[in-house]
Amino acid sequence: MNPDPRDPDTAVDPAHPQAQDVPSRRVRRPRPLAQEVLLLAGIALVLAVVIKAFFVQAFYIPSASMNDTLVENDRILVQKVSYWAGRPHRGDVVVFADPGGWLPPQESHKAGNLVTRGLEAVGLYPTGGHLVKRVIGVGGDEVRCCDDQGRMTVNGVPLNERSYLAPGVEPSSVAFDVKVAPGYVWVQGDNRSDSADSRAHLGDPGGGQVPVDDIVGKVFAVVWPLDHAKLLRTPATFGSVR
């Protein structure tokens, strides 16, 4: 039926003659709330797993071995990006998996129930079963303690470590002279008098050296408690070591 221009119910506006041909649009019905929540939770879970695997992971400090840089019960964040195409540097504070027998049972902090274990698996709960120390020597370095002034040396260069050693703590009470193997690092805690680090495992297989492949990443921040929150930077101590 052709529209009658005299009939207001069938007349077509000359300025919009196409209006009569526009079909009615279907209204899109929103998803149910439960479905939206499940979808968002799934996306969040995937993102958490990816972030933990490739970017950032949370850890817990169970001891005083890194005082005062990191103190007991600190929650720290470890970034993995720096080691995607590179290696740890002297002075980096790193988290690494227990090379074997380094970690006493009381420091093996684990999530206590099903919920916290699930959160731990996706990087939303501080992870245990690891150690945190400072890299002193990398593959090819000669690390020795101590020179005639009581200083640690790397490749013959004496280290001024006062920017990170705990107050009143000497560089080492253990004498040693090691050559770090390629693919390994030599690590020590900042609280040298209370740190079972590479020095304490000189007699173990590997001579106290940690495989680079065991390193999770580099500590870049303390996020809890708030009164100890800070960013960590690699000190200038090793700038003259070659």
Contacts of 194 (CB under 8 A, 6+ apart): 63, 64, 65, 67
Please state, in angstroms and rounded to a whole number, the distance separating the CA atoms of residues 123 and 110: 13
Please state, in angstroms and rounded to a whole number, the distance separating the CA atoms of residues 75 and 225: 7
63 is annotated as an active-site residue: no
Please state, in angstroms and rounded to a whole number, the distance separating the CA atoms of residues 4 and 1: 9
Report which of 66, 57, 73 is spatially closest to residue 197, judged by C-alpha positions. 66
Burial of 227 (0-12, 13-18, 19+ CB in 10 A): exposed
Give the burial string for 166-198 (b: 16+ CB within 10 Å, else e): beebebbeeebebebeeebbbbbbbbbeebbbb
The amino acid occupying position 2 is: N
Identify the active-site residue in 63, 65, 172, 195: 65
Contact 170, 164 (CB under 8 A): no
52 is annotated as an active-site residue: no
Report which of 195, 181, 159 is spatially closest to residue 66, judged by C-alpha positions. 195
Identify the active-site residue in 133, 172, 195, 198: 133
Looking at the chain, the number of H-run helices and the number of E-run strands are 2, 12
Please state, in angstroms and rounded to a whole number, the distance separating the CA atoms of residues 49 and 122: 5
**Residues taking part in catalysis:** 65, 133
